[in-house]
Structure 1
Amino acid sequence: MKVLFIGGTGLISQAASKLAVEKGIDLYLLNRGQRNDFVPDGAHVITADIRDAAATAEALKHLEFDAVVDWIAFTPDHVATDIKLFKGKTAQYIFISSASAYQKPSTQYLVTESTPLANPYWQYSRDKIACEDLLMDTYRSENFPITIVRPSYTYGDTMIPAALNSWANPWSLVDRMRKGEKIIVHGDGTSLWTMTHNTDFAKGIVGLLGNPKAIGHAFHITSDEVLDWNQITHMIGQAAGVEPNIVHISSEFITSFMPESIGGLLGDKAVSSVFDNSKIKRFVPDYIATVPFHEGIKRTINWFELRPEKCKIDQGWNDLMDRISEAHEAGRQRAKG
């Protein structure tokens, strides 16, 4: 099978790239060549910027693929470009959407692929929904061979996953834990959540590559392990060798200090998300997530500790956590009179 990944070296996709090559897939990666450390041996790299449609068309003009996966399409304009580039040049186009597109607030706790798509809190999610709508319309009207995949919170070696952490310098959370500083957990920490290791996600999506029965379908691919945010935070602390100093603060209070987090918190992580994975298991019968979070996060902590240059601290984020914690405590003291 000849497969093209647009991207292929990011947090989620790097594990899929590695597994695809291990499975004997003839893998091509189209990207800007900025993360070569995560290119697996045996993959072909095409250096191009997908946002430059003309240059990409030129780079791909002599190539056709059994499947194309776009890991970095976020808006309908991105998808429209892909349709023009790959119509007639691939037997399957896989769009990486997001499980955050599912209905918020949810009307039932168990999410299936038929759960409505509606997220009034997060533009990112609404853009993903618009991409899905365009692709489904094109599939129905022009027979463009689409498959939609919706990851939830998927992590790997390079990400320490939490509801609140620095995206640029994720080691900041562990540093804060080890110093005994307050670790903010939204609400009372009991909302349910699903963490998925990127090596598990990879098994699901690689199993969909070239599968003609998957055309026209949407799938989420997640772990079946259900945790709450208190458990998640304690497991991160345990992997780091400390007991985290947790303080519970309402999501609304947090977002009043961090309006940019409204989408990711109120529109995603503050809402319980438990997924029914029976559909992906029907289409990929050997799919099963085998990395529990307590094990996966140990791998992540170990990866960082072996690379001291990656253990950078985001002082701005750290200061913000202090301000929120201090304001919350001051409010509690005022309420006590």
Structure 2
Amino acid sequence: MRLLVLGGSDFAGRAVVEAAVGRGWDVTVLNRGQRAEPVPGVRSLRGDRTAPDGLAALAAHDGDWDAVVDTWSAAPRPVRDAARLLRERAGRYVYVSTCSVYAWAPPAGYTEDAPLVEGAAADADATDYARDKLGGELAVTGAFGADRAVLVRSGLILGPYENIGRLPWWLGRIARGGPVLAPGPRDLPLQYVDARDLAEWILGAVEQELSGPYNLMSPQGHATMGSLLEACVEATGADAELRWTDPEVIVDAGIEPWTQLPVWVPPGSEGHDALHGADVSRAVATGLRCRPVTETVTDTWDWLSRIGGTAPQRPDRPPVGLDAAVEAKVLGLGQV
């Protein structure tokens, strides 16, 4: 199989490249060449999709592809331009979108038929994350048609090379040891996908010639806050004490779910249903397999350890995590 990855140096895109190389596919990437070292065995083209001539190297390249994978998450125009350029040169266009394209807040158990946000357009300038991503979907289907477009509506993505900082923050905090504010309840179900499992599903979708939208995250309850944080303790080997704290205490302290306490959203809230309650039966029926949470956590810690403990941070995303003084106050530990 011949695969073109637009990006391919960071997180989910890199996972796709590594998985494709592992399958023996012929892989080409287009990016600015400013990130990590390229995966060995990959053909690299240089281009900045935000520049007027950013696709020149791609236009001049002699060849076509069985599929294109695109993880772009800013203004949809670069997706539109790439899709138009490639519609006669690629068999399928796989766009890594997000479950945020659903009108907020979708109820627990929502499927791919749930209502979408309004106001998105394929040729729009940057608006907000949800509309930008839906604009990207519209750009792909506009150029490739519904029968050759695969819309990967991912949720929370974790794993090695994460550049948002959610799992790396938890690992770093637990590695420091001591009492840790663990947001309860311990058995709160989580939904996420390891970037490598996302990548394997994408390649399988290309092989199966799938099309249309897919909610792409683990089945509900694949992991819990307890299994996630306990895996962090085990992976780091730290002398950390998880102090499980009631959601009401955390919310009353003014702590922001999801951002200050990454991954966590209070049970019973519309946010938890939207972020951890999707119906993923369509993806599972077409080959989605999710590795145990212990593997995702351990491999992420191993990667962090290799790079010195500090994960790269996307410049377009705010940092996540809880201030140590706030954590100590909630736990009744005084000043730290």
Which TM-score tier does this pair reach, normalised by the shorter chain? 0.7 to 0.9
- The range that moved more, 318-327 or 297-306, is 318-327
Deviations 1:180-239 (A, max 9, x none): 456455575664321322222222100122544x23x11133223523334422332232
**C-alpha distance 72-182 of structure 1, shift in aligned 2 (>3 A):** farther
**C-alpha distance 188-272 of structure 1, shift in aligned 2 (>3 A):** farther
1:48 and 1:239 mapped to 2: Cα distance? 39
Per-residue deviation at 1:154?
1.9
2:310 and 2:35 mapped to 1: Cα distance? 18
Correspondences of 1:1-337 after superposition (within 5 Å)? 1-37=1-37, 39-61=38-60, 62-107=62-107, 109-118=108-117, 123-138=128-143, 145-159=148-162, 167=164, 171-180=168-177, 183-184=180-181, 188=185, 191-209=188-206, 211-212=208-209, 214-215=210-211, 217-224=212-219, 226-241=222-237, 242-247=240-245, 248=247, 249-250=250-251, 253-255=254-256, 271=274, 273-282=276-285, 284=286, 287-307=287-307, 309-311=308-310, 321-325=323-327
Per-residue deviation at 1:290?
4.4
- Whether the 8 Å CA contact 1:46–1:59 is kept in 2: the answer is yes
Per-residue deviation at 1:255?
3.5
**Structure-1 residue corresponding to 2:124:** none
Tell me the matched-pair count. Answer: 309
Q: Which amino acid aligns with 2:115?
A: P
- The range that moved more, 292-301 or 190-199, is 190-199
1:281 and 1:318 mapped to 2: Cα distance? 30
Q: Which runs of 5+ in 2 are unaligned?
A: 120-126
1:33 and 1:74 mapped to 2: Cα distance? 18
1:187 and 1:25 mapped to 2: Cα distance? 44
**C-alpha distance 168-232 of structure 1, shift in aligned 2 (>3 A):** closer
1:154 and 1:51 mapped to 2: Cα distance? 25
2:253 and 2:93 mapped to 1: Cα distance? 39
Per-residue deviation at 1:4?
0.6
Q: What fraction of aligned residue pairs are identical, expressed as a percent? A: 20
Q: Give the TM-score of the pair, scaled to structure 1.
A: 0.75
Secondary structure of the 2:151 match is strand
- The range that moved more, 172-181 or 7-16, is 172-181
Secondary structure of the 1:150 match is strand
Q: Give the TM-score of the pair, scaled to structure 2.
A: 0.75
Q: Which amino acid aligns with 1:233?
A: L
Q: Which amino acid aligns with 2:55?
A: T
- Whether the 8 Å CA contact 1:100–1:119 is kept in 2: the answer is no
Secondary structure of the 1:110 match is coil
2:309 and 2:59 mapped to 1: Cα distance? 35
Q: Which amino acid aligns with 1:157?
A: P
Secondary structure of the 2:90 match is coil
Q: Which amino acid aligns with 1:322?
A: A
Deviations 1:225-284 (A, max 9, x none): 52333442233223223333444512992249x79x9xx9988568452343332344x4
Q: Which amino acid aligns with 1:158?
A: Y
**Structure-1 residue corresponding to 2:122:** none
Q: Which runs of 5+ in 1 are unaligned?
A: 160-165, 331-337
2:142 and 2:295 mapped to 1: Cα distance? 41
2:311 and 2:97 mapped to 1: Cα distance? 30
Secondary structure of the 1:232 match is helix
- Whether the 8 Å CA contact 1:98–1:128 is kept in 2: the answer is yes
Q: Which amino acid aligns with 1:325?
A: E
